[in-house]
């Protein structure tokens, strides 16, 4: 009997203690803290899968029309960017991007029909990688790496391999993949009545001359690297009804002559060939974009670009093309303001003319006959979002040209007309 009473007492005591533990307030566990440096880092990127068809033909008075290119390929583009806020004044940015190691599509191939390979790892105008090489590993390049100091609101000092600080509306002067190297200052000021004033200026380093010499063979100790100074002044209006901007820029390259004997890249060699033919590219540029907003989410607008080579070019060296010194572009666009959610769409169309000596052929849009000068192009594009931050894009570009020899004094006895059809179908996702 005594044993039973003890057992019952122990069981009751255990039940009471268990109930007390359940009713006791739960102890707060230490939640893991996110390191402060993680909150100062911004990560973004995008992936694009593309089908591309490229067909070209050459027509002469002697031989008629001959196909020089008929190519279909699948390509991808991957970009990853990181921005780190070091302090209230300092920010560091760097980005990685895909890109082929070599290419077999060159302006020379399009006009001759011959297969010509050139190294492409240093191509400033392409982050595309073609599916090729029996599943070989594909390269990843440094797309940009620069620091930014912001001592006051609206003032930025930039140095490194940077995202292009120059305001552009399309790709007549600057291909959108180009990330210049050098130093720049960007000033942005808000004025009354939703108006703005902005300035971009600086110096881009185009190449390095490693071992320059004087005419007598002695070492030239002065700084001979080709560089380009630039300045852009613009103004605009931005409010709930419109975003309209216009900007004027001047580009002044110097020491390009040293590329003639020191070029180490396809781009440098192209510039060297023009410089050897007594060509320079001091240029005046106008950028214009005007968008109007309506029904909360829709917009329509016009845009244009103009560039003129102001360098003195002599006909005794260049013949009649010495006067072919300007390029322009004009276009329209419309659709939703953003391309983020299902139902969003954007369309655009433009016409483009690029005379023979208007601007650096290695900086303009590579999709227009591989950036060949002395061409006219028509471009149409349409995009539609299919998921959140995922969209389809279809683009068609028709380019045609009458080639003339820059290095000669007379036109060819049988001028060439080159035509190219370019079709691109993309699916892109951003994060």
pLDDT digits (tens, 9 = 90+) for 67-120: 788 999 999 999 999 999 999 999 999 999 998 866 555 555 555 555 555 555
Dist CA 404 CA 410 (whole Å): 8
Which tens digits make up the pLDDT trace of 330-350?
999 999 999 999 999 999 999
pLDDT of residue 69: 82
Domain boundaries, the chain: 39-430
Determine contact, residues 199/186, Cβ cutoff 8 Å: yes
Dist CA 274 CA 390 (whole Å): 42
269's CB contacts (< 8 A; 6+ apart) are: 259, 263
Intervals of the chain under pLDDT 70 = 1-32, 63, 101-122, 211-217, 219-221, 223, 261, 402-415
Closest CA to 285 of 310, 303, 267: 310
pLDDT of residue 371: 85
Dist CA 326 CA 357 (whole Å): 7
CATH 1.10.287 fits 39-430, yes or no: no
121's CB contacts (< 8 A; 6+ apart) are: 99, 101, 139, 141
């Amino acid at each position: 009997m005594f044993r039973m009473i003890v057992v019952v007492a122990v069981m009751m005591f255990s039940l009471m203690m268990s109930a007390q533990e359940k009713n006791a307030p739960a102890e707060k566990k230490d939640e893991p803290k996110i390191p402060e440096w993680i909150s100062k880092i911004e990560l973004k990127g995008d992936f694009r899968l593309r089908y591309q068809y490229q067909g070209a033909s050459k027509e002469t008075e002697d031989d008629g029309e001959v196909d020089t290119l008929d190519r279909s390929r699948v390509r991808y583009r991957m970009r990853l960017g990181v921005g780190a806020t070091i302090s209230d004044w300092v920010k560091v940015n760097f980005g990685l991007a895909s890109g082929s190691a070599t290419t077999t599509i060159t302006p020379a191939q399009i006009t001759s029909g011959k297969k010509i390979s050139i190294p492409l790892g240093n191509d400033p105008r392409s982050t595309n990688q073609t599916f090729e090489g029996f599943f070989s590993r594909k390269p990843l390049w440094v797309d940009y790496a620069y620091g930014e100091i912001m001592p006051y609101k609206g003032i930025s000092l930039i140095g490194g391999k940077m995202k292009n600080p120059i305001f552009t509306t399309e790709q007549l002067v600057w291909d959108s993949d180009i990330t210049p190297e050098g130093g720049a200052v960007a000033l942005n000021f808000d004025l009354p009545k939703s108006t703005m004033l902005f300035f971009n200026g600086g110096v881009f380093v185009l190449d390095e001359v490693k071992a320059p010499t004087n005419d007598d063979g002695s070492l030239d100790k002065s700084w001979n690297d080709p560089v380009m100074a630039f300045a852009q002044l613009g103004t605009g209006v931005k409010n709930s009804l419109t975003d309209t901007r216009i900007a004027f820029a001047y580009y002044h390259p110097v020491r390009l002559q040293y590329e003639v004997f020191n070029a180490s890249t396809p781009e440098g060699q192209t510039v060297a060939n023009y410089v050897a033919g007594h060509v320079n590219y001091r240029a005046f540029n106008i950028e214009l974009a005007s968008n109007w907003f309506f029904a909360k989410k829709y917009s329509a607008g016009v845009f244009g670009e103009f560039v003129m080579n102001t360098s003195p070019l002599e006909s005794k060296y260049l013949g009649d093309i010495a006067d072919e010194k300007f390029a322009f572009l004009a276009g329209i666009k419309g659709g939703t303001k953003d391309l983020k959610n299902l139902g969003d769409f954007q369309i655009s169309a433009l016409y483009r003319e690029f005379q023979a000596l208007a601007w650096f052929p290695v900086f303009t849009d590579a999709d227009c006959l591989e950036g060949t000068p002395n061409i006219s192009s028509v471009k149409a594009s349409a995009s539609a979002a299919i998921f959140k931050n995922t969209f389809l894009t279809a683009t068609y570009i028709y380019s045609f040209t009458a080639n003339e020899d820059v290095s000669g004094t007379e036109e060819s006895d049988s001028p060439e007309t080159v035509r190219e059809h370019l079709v691109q179908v993309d699916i892109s996702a951003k994060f």
